[in-house]
Amino acid sequence: MTPVQVCRGDFNKGAGIQNKESKNKHSGRGEAALKKKVLLAVSGGVDSSVAGWLLKEEGYEVAGVTMCLGVRDEGIKTRCCGRDAIEDAREVCGMLDIPHYVLDYVPLLESCVIDKFTREYRLGRTPNPCIDCNRYLKFGHLLKQARAMGFDYLATGHYAMIEQKENRWVLKKPRDSGKDQTYFLYPIPFEALEHILFPLADLTKEEVREIARKACLPIAGKAESQDLCFVTQESYGEFLRERGCPVEPGPIVDRSGRVLGEHSGTVFYTIGQRHGLRISSPCPLYVVAIDAVRNSVIVGEKRDVYASALIAGDMNWLTPDRPREAEGKIRYRKRSSPCTIIHDGDRVRIHFSEDQDAITPGQAVVLYSGDEVLGGGVIEEVLRSTTHS
């Protein structure tokens, strides 16, 4: 996985733009920027591009790197981090006048992300591959490679904040709460925080686009990618079928086991789903569980979707102490809710103060104390109270 320098250019168009924020405001490292070397993960999008511009303004010695994830077996292109994105990243790095490297991460994507994605669906779970990409690729292999190449920091265009609290570094929510990406970043190793920069921590998305326009960056108006980068087919089902995952029809049953209809494959369903069931019923029905062993989808009324507790494993903690109280978030767009935590080795049992809608095995539960991320893990089991039986 030897890096290949592919471009170096000029940034004259962006010269003279005044950053309204104070020097070193965005990196959160104060005067540490002087002569420090930063490897910036450049995706070809507006966020990472502006992150690079800010780092240059703060005085860092910056180089860009793009993880090539774009061509899988048989030359299939992915939606992002492919050749088009690499060309965009090359152009941006040229304007920033920084070196640009391209690393072949296709094998790592396969082994660390796609294989797990397929395996989780086989088990009837709903995985979050973006979290695994951060865990294993960006803040795993790429961070280690950055350090091995002599860089002091790895920077990305994520909307998150790293600050020093007493004698340790903490991961916190960014200023723009609507773009908060800390849910996807909880797996960052505790000891790695001091080597990571998030230059967009104090900016809103609108401010980022404005900086890009003023700097004449070619991607100022580029749309954000909303799809999984490695799924190029029309549906997850088609992708999973091609990878040998069984996608077969089976029964849709109620909680007593009575057959109500037929599904086209459990991979097309997730907890809390209402649409696509094709079942006639006097009241709306929702997916409450998936039984991969029996290839069945279990449905119930809305109240059956709620649960008050869960068991999570594969925990990553960003605090030296193990919290017993926190606010837990069970999906990216869900609001966090107060909870208590019972520790059992590497697993935890989390009890919420109020019932949660659609706790889903395979998704992450992330724990917060105010704006600070305490840690998180993968939901393994849903625990429902007797009132929901």
Known catalytic residues?
133, 229
- Beta strands per DSSP E along the chain: 4-7, 37-41, 61-68, 100-104, 153-155, 161-165, 168-172, 196-197, 250-253, 259-263, 286-291, 296-300, 306-317, 325-329, 337-344, 347-357, 364-369, 372-383
The stretches of 97-221 forming alpha helices (DSSP H) are: 106-108, 115-122, 129-132, 143-148, 205-214
Q: Is 56 helix (H, G, I), strand (E, B) or coil?
A: helix
Query: What crossing angle do the helices spanning 83-96 and 46-58 adopt, rounded to 10°?
Result: 20
CB 52 within 8 A of CB 92: yes
Q: Which residue has the tokens 């799924």?
A: 231
- Burial letters for 141-161: b for 16+ Cβ neighbours within 10 Å, e otherwise? bbbebbeeeebbbbbbbbbbb
C-alpha neighbours within 13 Å on the C-beta side of residue 291: 14
User: Could you write out the DSSP letters of every residue in 116-144?
Assistant: HHHHHHHTT----HHHHIIIIIIIIIIHH
Tell me the C-alpha to C-alpha distance, in Å, between residue 301 and each of 12, 283, 306, 357: 61, 7, 10, 12
- 109: which DSSP letter? I
Please state, in angstroms and as integers, the Cα–Cα distance from residue 378 to each residue in 35, 125, 127, 311, 335, following that order.
Answer: 39, 11, 9, 9, 17
Q: What phi, psi does 139 have (nearest 5°)?
A: -100, 15
